Amino acid sequence: MDPFVQAFSDELTSITEAKPPVSRAKMTAITKAALKAIKHYKHVVMCVEKFVSKCRPEFKLQGLYVIDAILRQSRHQFGGDKEVFGPRFARNLANTLQHVWRCPPEQQVKVERVLQLWERNSIYDQVTLAPLFAVIGRSAPFSTNGQATTKTAATAVPPNREAEEALRDMQAKQEEQLKQLKALQEQIAAQQHQQHIPPQQQQQQ
């Protein structure tokens, strides 16, 4: 294994040596180690995904915090086309979030909060976020101001198939809203046209 990847892996797994939450200093060290190994970013992402899937429930939220820290620092330091961690994490993010969601129930609201911040700060677009909201029991993304548009379900929705159904449902609702808007515009246009017809023509009609 590349020494930079190994150094990152060591920092990451050392999280389990102390009780959560992870200290700010430790999170900074993990993030720096990840960026030093950017030439092997695929291996870094794989290390995080493996950690989240294998660690005990009390550390799964910390794994999500690691992802969040890497994404934010990578966007800040590189940005644009040079930012490679975001797209790579996105490839398997819904599956990773399923493992995160197995954290203690009292921590699940913090998982939801991370997704709110990702939406609000445009870390990911709505297409990427929609399956993530479905995993935590939401049928639609948050609005642009970070407020939830739907209530949280009592239990998490099963992944993949349910996520796809949620996305299709959202798209169908958007299409129906567009149809209603078009019909309303046509109605307004017809009323405006009627108002501009001279009285004599209206009587002839």
Q: What pLDDT, in 10s, does the model give residues 19-64?
A: 999 999 999 999 999 999 999 999 999 999 999 999 999 999 999 9
Single-letter amino acid, residue 178: L
Q: What pLDDT, in 10s, does the model give residues 100-149?
A: 999 999 999 999 999 999 999 999 999 999 999 999 997 555 554 444 44
pLDDT at position 31? 97
pLDDT at position 104? 96
Percent of the chain past pLDDT 70, that is, above it, reads 73
Q: What pLDDT, in 10s, does the model give residues 186-196?
A: 777 777 777 76
Establish whether the linkage from the previous residue to 199 is cis, with ω within 30° of 0.
no
pLDDT at position 90? 96
pLDDT at 151 over 60: no
Single-letter amino acid, residue 5: V
Cα–Cα distance for residue pair 5/24, rounded to 1 Å: 21
Cα–Cα distance for residue pair 169/171, rounded to 1 Å: 5
